[in-house]
Chains A and B, each alone.
Chain A
Amino acid sequence: MNRQAAGWIVALLALVALPFVHRDPYHLHVLVLILIWSFAYTSWSIMGRFGLVSLGHGGFMGIGAYVTALLWNHLGVSPWIGIPLSMATAGVLALVVAYPCFRFRITGHYFVLVTLALSGIVLQVITATRDYTGGSLGYTPQRAPSGKGLFALQFDDKITWYLIALAVWIAGLVIWRAIDRSMIRHAMEAISEDEDAAAAAGVNVTAEKLKITLISALMTALAGALYCQYQMFISPDTVSGIAVSLQMVFAAIVGGVYVALGPTVGAIITIVLAEVLRISFGTKAVGWDNLVYGVLLVLFIIFLPKGILGSVIDRIKSPRKPSRGHEQQIVPIARR
């Protein structure tokens, strides 16, 4: 256990030291993208792993990005305040949509459909209010005057962004792990199997599901806001809508939703794939990555439901200890 802790600390130090040793800006850019998206996918998996498959997370991400940028451009509100406000907006929306779902037992495919509508609605609202949001052409936060970069949370320096993204990504993993070790995980596993039996064990089913949904939505909005501040350009297609939601589901499932680093592995695979296709085929390959995602998603749900990292860890561990009951379950995502 101590050796394991030492291993984590060494890995952490190496990650912090990396940008000071390897300064290639393109590589750092890809790493920042991987960290931000890993955080977003981790946020999705916090509820996705319990069979609460949401296709609404693109909506939360879009709210995080657009609310932060709109507050800054129109009212001059610093992202330091704007980001918490955008997270709160996403949180309220999550509760408004999820409460009736959970209260009236809308589960499984029906829940997926409701959240799908949420993604669509957020996308439509952004496109429809083009006078404010720029519509489908995208939106750019105004550049802060020099010297006010910290106030505006705008940095030209890739190393700064790398460290911010790294800190947020680690925070996401810490939250994932805290939930994994808490009684909420047990309650949510129980709920995902049998809501009546969970209630008979004293679990407030609606409240526990709302808690998990709220945490997941808040984190996803933060991911959207960070993406906006880093890229300094957002469009409905890149931070909101159904495509982004599907991308989250895909990456999380491919990496593995039952292990902390699964969504991160998913982010590495998807982003590297997109970059390789972009560089080798250029504009001729636009949309190919989505095709590859789609095919892979089907294959993964059928053949490798625990994802790449989950399956690798199982392979390593299986001869030593019997895996836990919830890890032996097959195809929980597809089942619901």
Chain B
Amino acid sequence: MLAVEGLVKRFGGFRAVNNVSFRVEQGEILGLIGPNGSGKSTIFNMLSGTLPPTEGSILFDGREIAGLAPHRIIVGGIGRTFQIPRPFHRLSIFENVVLAGFYGQGRRSRSKAEEAAERALAMVGLPTDRRASVEGLGAAGLKKLELAKALATGPKLLLADESLGGLDETEMDQAADMLRRIRDELGITIIWVEHIMGVLMRVVDRVMVLDHGEKIAEGLPADVAGDARVIEVYLGTDADASLAAAVAEQARRRIGV
């Protein structure tokens, strides 16, 4: 459903993303991991149109979307969340999601947008009360709102950016389960960007690892968790070999292989 070829983003002389290619199949959850500054968010921003790519092609459902304006990509069936939640404080929670339901689905009708908002809020577990203010939400609530906004735009492909930063262990597990439910119940394909490997590895079908803007590994979670380059990126070259092995082992156990 998504085919990315030779994606490059340069900021001046700095290559934030360097010749990255990958495919996403209908109905899968692809995990995208890598240390800070490895280019994950830049890739997301290019997929969603927030940044135009310097080079490369992005085919979504067979259509070239590289460099399109963001609203056209969103209306075309891609939804995104931001790493740091960006709610609209001057609108209520409900109005935030209705806005996405209205404009994100090509401005059909207000009542359709309200229905979409109610479904999206119910899916993420937020109240559908029309007046509830954004100010009452904590970190977990804001992440849910971010997800509800993305869902309300009616995406076929959801780009979930670091959904779990700032959450505690229980909240992380709930959020991970929610992404799986979104895929299972709504049939939405997901690309999930995350720092934290553990939770992500349990949920995703495949995982892709970035470092310094380049793809260094891609495959099943179990294989990637044991990959020497991935361990090196996450623990550094000086890491004790036995420590690396222990981490890999722990990662395997968490996934259950």
A interface list, Cβ under 8 A from B: 183, 186-187, 189-190, 192-194, 196-205, 322, 324-326, 328-329
Contact = CB atoms under 8 A, between A and B. Distances in A.
A325 B74 contact: no
4 closest A-B pairs by CB = A202-B104, A326-B90, A202-B103, A197-B86
Interface of B: 48-50, 69-71, 74-75, 80, 82, 86-92, 95-96, 98-100, 102-107, 110, 113, 131, 133-135, 149-150, 153
Nearest to A194: B86
A201 B103 contact: yes
Contacts of A192: 90
Contacts of B87: 197
A183 B70 contact: no
Nearest to B104: A202
A211 to B, nearest CB: 12
B94 to A, nearest CB: 11
Question: Residue among B50, B103, B133 with the most chain A CB within 10 A?
Answer: B103
16 contacts: A186-B91, A187-B103, A193-B89, A196-B70, A197-B87, A197-B88, A199-B69, A199-B74, A200-B48, A200-B70, A200-B74, A200-B150, A201-B99, A201-B100, A202-B100, A202-B105
Given A183-B99, A200-B50, A203-B99, A325 B71 contact: no
Given A201-B149, A203-B71, A183 B90 contact: no
Given A197-B88, A324-B131, A325-B92, A187 B82 contact: no
B133 A201 contact: no
Interface of B is mostly: mixed
A190 B98 CA distance: 12
A202 B71 CA distance: 4
Contacts of A187: 99, 103
A325 B103 contact: no
A200 B50 CA distance: 8
Which applies to chain A's interface (DSSP): helix, strand, loop or mixed? Answer: helix
Contacts of A200: 48, 50, 70, 74, 80, 82, 86, 149-150
B133 A202 contact: no
Contacts of B135: 325
Contacts of A196: 50, 70, 82, 86
Nearest to A182: B110
B88 A202 contact: no
B99 A186 contact: yes
B71 A329 contact: no
A182 to B, nearest CB: 9
A322 B95 CA distance: 16
Given A201-B153, A202-B104, A324-B131, A189 B70 contact: no
Contacts of B104: 201-202
Contacts of B100: 201-202
B102 to A, nearest CB: 5
Contact of B153 (A202, A322, A326): A202
B86 to A, nearest CB: 4
A322 B49 CA distance: 37
A186 B71 contact: no
Given A187-B103, A325-B135, A199 B91 contact: no
A205 B69 CA distance: 10
A202 B150 CA distance: 10
A295 B100 CA distance: 42
Given A186-B95, A186-B98, A186-B102, 7 more contacts: A183-B99, A187-B103, A199-B70, A202-B74, A202-B102, A202-B103, A325-B92
B89 A201 contact: no
A189 B91 contact: yes
A198 B110 CA distance: 17
A190 B101 CA distance: 14
Most buried by A among B131, B135, B150: B131
A18 B114 CA distance: 44
Nearest to B45: A196
Between A201, A322, A325, the greatest number of chain B beta carbons within 10 A of the residue's beta carbon is seen for A201
A194 B90 CA distance: 11
Contacts of B103: 183, 187, 201-204
